[in-house]
Structure 1
């Protein structure tokens, strides 16, 4: 048998590796002492190895096995006691007998220390050659008996192993034909499964949809594809074998958490990324088995950009409509207003009631101002932009905003950081800041604080206006900036619509962060 032949070869190799001579290590820093020891212990049965320092002795112990070590106590560098400690610290040499030889360290404390560090004998120089020789012979005899016992045990183990291998080989031969048939059948099944798994793997890894496999039993991620990592912002090792946080996946319609075992078919959800951003998606799930653990395959189609585009187009359509309407209203109203205004100016010089005329002029000026503001929504309005410091504009408006705040027992705080100059229409930006600041004051109760902050970030200048109101509900937030939409009893619904129109003309972005502790309007301008 093949296995039996291998065992016989192993036995022959083991017999050939038995040591022909016994190694004895002699350590002394004086070569003449080593020659003297060699003369005493010279024997065809011994292989005497000399070392002139503790370091060299340790190197010999790494490569060879010794029956006994003769170790001088007084040596430069590592002395005998230190060398013995290192020998005892190694697993391979911790049981090797050590005999200390010394001509100097003969005090009781040195002898005691020699035994404490692992010595089994402590001999003073000059020593009796025959006595030393007899001691070495005894240690060699113990060593050889120990080796012989190891050899016999190993030999017996080989015999028993050979017998077991022979028996097992016969059993394997008797069932070999049956196994070959089963293997062939399993190979067909395995090949089919492999092809199916490869197809699934390619679809899973290359899909533009976010895909994740989650254990049904404990809800941990078993795998996610590249799209899942790209959209959520996580690294693979941050998700793999970690529990899925289902609170990050909420149905948009009712705000309920997605359940692991529920079958899902294209429901619209909001999901949270690593940095806390809320994104929109269509989620489906399917129960699957993987080796053979029951799992859930989640497939998520991200529609955030599509939603933003649809909302943007809706808002743009409304703005375009109101802009066209504003231009038409201005054209139709301003012509008669000009005529009336001119007539009243003439009538003012005659004996007509000046109080009535002044009142009419004031009302006409007010009407003209409202129409001018309304025209700010027009899509073709021209902005006259120059380089300005936004901090200077805010500081100029501060007394007006502060006066309005004090009137309602509220306060305004400025936190203006150094910022680059930006190309803006000063009048329009004054209107944007004033509209948003007054809205923030209106949103707070008595004692509230409005904070206006500016700072530079990379190639942008950012203006934040933060109130301490109760926040904006999702229903209202979705409609903010739409012309004529207002939550105020006497509002026109044009203030924020004008702000969005101004921001668009300045290529600025408005972002809203809201919660129970208040709302922040953040406007980002491109720096020059």
Structure 2
């Protein structure tokens, strides 16, 4: 028995850690996971291979996800490939519509549920396999038809030769008849295999005449999903399901032209009871028993979309709850201190100056927590000017070195000439200080912190490397999450602020960690 061929799945993300996550979630002996680090590299893979589905990140440097999807679908040989956007950017309706307009059939927001992603990919792989089976059956039918034509041609040639030479006509006719019978037997077997696929498919499959639109046959899944009986459908010429294609740009539906071949067209259809459902429609023309027909396959995604909407709603509620709990926890502590001392002062009818100083300190701490949280706001206005990153680092160096000396550590600068960048100096100072001070805290006495800058192609890099014991995997996965901290007195907002600052500067933060230390690398794109 032939070994089952692996199905190609393309993973596109400019961040290696995201590709590793997708690869771990989708790992399967049945999948060939192809990775691409950019939209350009993804296009190269699509030119070479066929894919069952593409998981595409939206926000990438250079060619972004939307443009990459459009280019893939503009090419005839790749226009049928379903694309799932995976993104952590805004979930507003217009952004989702933009993704569908670019050619996506699905839209998943980070952080995603691994099981749901696996089930979605499995569904598209299953559809791809069914489509491949249909294509193979069509190719086999075509091959058998050509063989039959070839046999007929040979027979005619032989008959003419026998007439001319008058040799053993009866024997040759018998031999050619046997060949025809064998060819017809193979053709019948191919038709039987097609019937089995047709009957067992979980998708809704209908065969209709291209001449008058008449329903020739429908499978069991079609009947179960629509509620119709077989006898009341066969022979009807009207559009029973009232199929309409969705237009994500105009937020309305349009009529479908079933004379054209379609691939995963998002449609709405109605059951016998008037229930509206959503599906992905693919069509293919074929000749069946001498009649030109259209084979229409609908993959119903109604329940899947309802589940995704509910999961999205619950994820948002969960995020709001976590943020509210974090803010309440961090601000309640200093407020409790102030309240306690005020009650104490009230009972004693006087208040000492040290109590006032302590309350002011606690109030200032609460204010700092709120101020750090507000720096995470996406709409925060940045005062960016064209300036030298090295000069900002040199101005901060005495402060960082002084902190290092207190714990018998050292700071080394390796500043190379770099192109000027549009930077908000205050925000960049905060980013460098947060990461540098974290690095100093991670090291024991005698440790060395290295701050390095350099140019590479169209980017300027800032590397901050410590000689600590590294970051464990569980902590690494949560780094940058608001209110997550491993420090006893930390707010959990420092690195979250760093990621927010980087985002406002169109920069990316990557982390390389091991037992010999950790390197935070910030990549700035040259304007």
What's the TM-score bracket when you normalise by the shorter of the two chains? 0.3 to 0.5
Per the normalisation by structure 2, the TM-score is 0.38
Per the normalisation by structure 1, the TM-score is 0.38
